[in-house]
Amino acid sequence: MPFIKEILRHRSLSIVGLEKNTGKTVCLNYILGRLNQEGVECAVTSIGVDGEQTDAVYGSAKPEITLYERMLFITSEKHYRQRQLVSEITAVDPRRTSLGRLVTARVVCGGKVLLSGAASTGMLRTQIEGFIRQGVPLSIVDGALSRLSLASPTVTDAMVLATGAAVSPNLSQLISKTRFVCRLIALDEVEPTLQQQLSPIEQGLWAVDSEGEVHDLQLKSVFLLGSNNNDIFRFGTTLFASGAVSDHLLKYLASQKNISDICLIVRDFTKLFITPEVYSNYIRRGGRLQVLQRSNLVAVCLNPTSPQGYHLHSEDACAALSDALQLPVYDVRKVKGS
């Protein structure tokens, strides 16, 4: 059973895709089927709408989500009424979403369901914490579109990454794009003491001196870099960006004479909105990039078919991608019977 044992080492799991139609729902159904065979109780929700029969963009058929007896799930009132299974409600969140209140229910007799869950990662964290308090061994979050924010270690303990022909029908480009994201996922973590100091900081650019002391650089936005005389290196060359990081900051740092001494720390890889070219230049010139928390990548799954009709040879693509990533890559449709 590929990667299922690894999943069971964690309390929460996110399934995210590099693009829409990379096979997240197929991965989810594979995992749910295997967990059912193992007799593992789990809870399932989504940050968007997932499990619909028809793709809203391409109009093509999509796999529905199948849940099994005793599994818990969260969905909106609207989609709870449309379920094709028997379940009992265990809780109703009084907060409203655009599709009504969120209903938590337990499956009595398995079937299909449409999931529409929390509108924010903060709400997701609360839901997962609630399941943990109830003693549910595993919570699974299925992502909408290509929202990598779900894979933040502040939301879920582990992640499955879905990629495929929808990212690019060209195998070389697919490998390049997937490898870049996996490089960011695998960024080194800072040491625990520094992690504890920086984690509570919610905004701004900060510096860490040689004694490990943290200093607020009083910079409202990283986009102001270069437009003022503020020396951001006056306390040292280790910097912490508490929010999102774009190419602008990396380009600025890469242009500095002391680039080989600079280390930029970000909260986690989901805060990086950077291009491969800018990242490569920053690293090549000697800059370092670290994270407060590293995400646990459990598996990479491949969907060899795109909604436009492009098709990659599954075995060849999995082998080439696995070799490039130095990780196992699965087309779960090929291993369902194993």
Tokens of 252: 């600025």
Range(s) within the chain of domains with CATH label 3.40.50 = 4-185+295-335
Q: Does the CA dihedral 118-120-126-132 come out positive or negative?
A: positive
**Range among 36-45, 55-64, 305-314 rated most confident:** 36-45
Give the CA count within 13 Å in the CB-facing half-sphere of 187. Answer: 26
Pick 192-291's CATH classification: 3.30.310, 3.40.50, 3.40.140, 2.30.29. Answer: 3.40.140
Range(s) within the chain of domains with CATH label 3.40.140 = 192-291
Q: CA–CA separation, 118 vs 131, rounded Å? A: 14
Amino acid symbol at 44: V
| Predicted local distance difference test score (pLDDT) of residue 49 | 66
56 falls in which pLDDT band (50, 70, 90)?
Answer: low
**Which residues lie below 8 Å from residue 301, measured CB to CB, with a gap of 6+?**
23, 26, 27, 160, 161, 162, 163, 329, 330, 331, 332
Rounded (10°) CA dihedral 308, 314, 317, 323: 150
| Predicted local distance difference test score (pLDDT) of residue 338 | 41
Report residue 163 CA to chain centroid gap: 12
Check if the beta carbon of residue 178 is closer than 8 Å to that of residue 19: no
Residue percentage of the chain with pLDDT more than 90: 70
pLDDT, tens digit (0-9, with 9 covering 90-100), for 111-142: 999 998 887 888 889 999 999 999 999 999 98
| Predicted local distance difference test score (pLDDT) of residue 291 | 97
Average pLDDT, the chain: 89
Rounded (10°) CA dihedral 149, 154, 156, 157: 130
| Predicted local distance difference test score (pLDDT) of residue 337 | 45
Question: Which stretch of 64-78, 221-235, 285-299, 314-328 has the lowest confidence by average pLDDT?
Answer: 221-235
218 falls in which pLDDT band (50, 70, 90)?
Answer: confident
Tokens of 69: 């007896």
- Higher-confidence residue of 259 and 151: namely 259
**Nearest-5° angle of CA 102, CA 104, CA 110?**
125
| Predicted local distance difference test score (pLDDT) of residue 272 | 94
3-state secondary structure of 275: coil
pLDDT of 59 strictly over 80: no
Enclosing H/E stretch for 297: strand 296-303
Pick 4-185+295-335's CATH classification: 3.30.360, 3.30.310, 2.40.50, 3.40.50. Answer: 3.40.50
pLDDT, tens digit (0-9, with 9 covering 90-100), for 160-171: 999 999 999 999
